[in-house]
Amino acid sequence: MSVVPARDGPITTILRRIGAVVVFLASILAQCVPALARPRLIVHQIYNAGARSLIIIMLCGLFVGMVLGLQGFDLLQRFGSEDALGVAAALGLLKELGPVVTALLFAGRAGTALTSEIGLMRTTDQLTAMQMMAVDPMQRVVAPRFIGGVFAMPLLAAIFSLVGLFGAQLVGVQMMGVDAGAFWSQMQGAVRLDDVQEGFIKSLVFGTACSLVAVYEGYHTEPTAAGVGLATTRTVVTSSVLTLLLDYILTAAFL
Amino acid sequence: MTENVRPATASAATDAVVEVRGVHYAVGRREIFAGLDLAVRRGRVTAIMGPSGTGKTTLLRLITGQIAPASGEVRVWGERVAHLGRRELFALRRRTGMLFQNGALLTDLDVFENVAFPVREHTNLPEPLIRELVLTKLHAVGLRGAARLMPSELSGGMARRVALARAVVMDPELLIYDEPFVGLDPISMGVIVRLIRQMNRVLGITSIVVSHDVHELAAIADDSYLLSQGRCVASGSPEDLRRSDSEVVRQFLDGVADGPVPFHYPAPDYRDELLGGTGRMRIGGRA
């Protein structure tokens, strides 16, 4: 029997990494109850992850809605059904674009901020200092940020969809001349609670995934300047890919 | 090579707060400790000295339970640190204060909140009492007036003093200083030296100071250990160490570049490497 350990192959490495993330998630969940007992920490993190992302979310929601209005109008006009623009925009935003684009923007704005913040705390010994003060960083730092991200994502996705609808209405009704009554009444008649629920569940799942990736990468940052940079990059890449993968799985599950 | 100037370890065992016995520890293939023995006595300032890379900070991490030895044992107040569960370890750490090399202040909190942090985390004291406690500690380190400054607004020496106030705010019985003098100007260094001595005398704290600043340590230490090549090569009072004629002690105290601790990191023969390198360059050039 060889005493030299064999180097891990790519599949073993991926499995090992997934295992580490699952164990990390379990230890966060174990700390969530004590963390929730300190609502001020959670509210502060919802503000950091949510309120500070509002401008970019609203701006992007407006432009996505406006593009949806233009493209939708162009397509529906070919079939003489431009009155259905409201339905198309609402379903597209609520079920798909709202949760997905919000998650991608969240990964780029709040996710990177979380990773670099926790990573710098690791680099400057702040996490070790907490442990030396008998304070568990998982409970004091990681769990509140994770919960804050999970709570913030559905709120941001709802705001994105709302502003997106305003953008679609602006282009469709105000610029292209779609009837305002038809736009809103068709939307009201066709959009069901299930559609809203689908978007909500998606944004909740994406929020969990993106927040988990962000805090995991931050907590496991190599304590160097380059390490923080790499961890931040990995957060964006992993969160984005994971969001699109989960979106496909969830869409297939809801159909 | 092991020479104890004074065999402090065995005699101190009865009133030892920290006991390190036969500790082996390695990082990868590099052996950091090969049978390290030392003891830190109650109510005294113990200096751990040694050249860079001898594992001084690693020793602190072993004492505080951040890492576990491969073999041997580290006992703090008689408890085997490596065998403690999370709750017991945290209970032990609540009796311990640690000053980090860079201060390790929480950058999103101001000076006052940094010092108040352990108090808020571990007690339910009313706000006026927390305020009084924090201001008392900040006054002791001369920074009461800086209570509302952020860590980014502090100099290195001020940050170290705030960290010291935070380390003592819970009235620890054991205070650990990791390289407290690094990067300080002479005034700040003098202030820190005086504070370490004062904390020890006034509060009766047992102190461990890890450093390679020989002269500063000589002024405050009751006991000293000199680490080299994974072992404790000398121990005793700073005066004992000064009188020692051990080669390794002399090299360290006198700051001699080469000696038992070599100046050069292990490398192939200089001449061979230079000539070999030139030869390869020529061949490369012709090609």
Mutate which of B102, B177, B179 to test chain A, going by most A C-beta atoms within 10 A?
B102
For A192, other C-beta atoms within 10 Å of its C-beta total: 10
CA-closest candidate to residue B103, choices B177, B174, B51, B46: B177
CB proximity list for B191: less than 8 A, separation 6 or greater: B142, B157, B161
Query: How does the average pLDDT of chain A come out, rounded?
Result: 92
Nearest to B100 among A120, A125, A135 (CB): A125
Q: What is the pLDDT of residues B29-54, one digit of tens each?
A: 888 888 889 999 998 999 998 887 78
Average of per-residue pLDDT across A32-47: 91
- Token representation of residue B128: 């006026």
Chain A nearest C-alpha distance from B90 (Å): 5
Q: What is the pLDDT of residues B107-116, one digit of tens each?
A: 999 999 999 9
Contact B100 A129 (CB under 8 A): yes
DSSP string, B157-203: HHHHHHHHHHHHTT--SEEEEESTTTT--HHHHHHHHHHHHHHHHHH
- Secondary structure of A60-82 in HEC code, one letter for each residue: HHHHHHHHHHHHHHHHHHHCCCH
d(CA B1, CA B259): 13
Please report residues of A whose CB lies closer than 8 A to that of B166. 133
d(CA A45, CA A140): 12
Nearest to A124 among B96, B102, B117 (CB): B102
Contact B107 A120 (CB under 8 A): yes
Domain B1-95+174-189+201-287 fold is Rossmann fold (3.40.50)
Q: List chain B domain ranges.
A: 1-95+174-189+201-287, 109-171
pLDDT at B8 over 60: no
Q: B48 phi and psi, to 5 degrees?
A: -110, 115
Nearest to B64 among A125, A132, A136 (CB): A132
Q: What is the pLDDT of residues B192-223, one digit of tens each?
A: 888 888 888 888 889 999 988 878 888 888 98
Confidence band for B3, pLDDT divided at 50, 70 and 90: very low
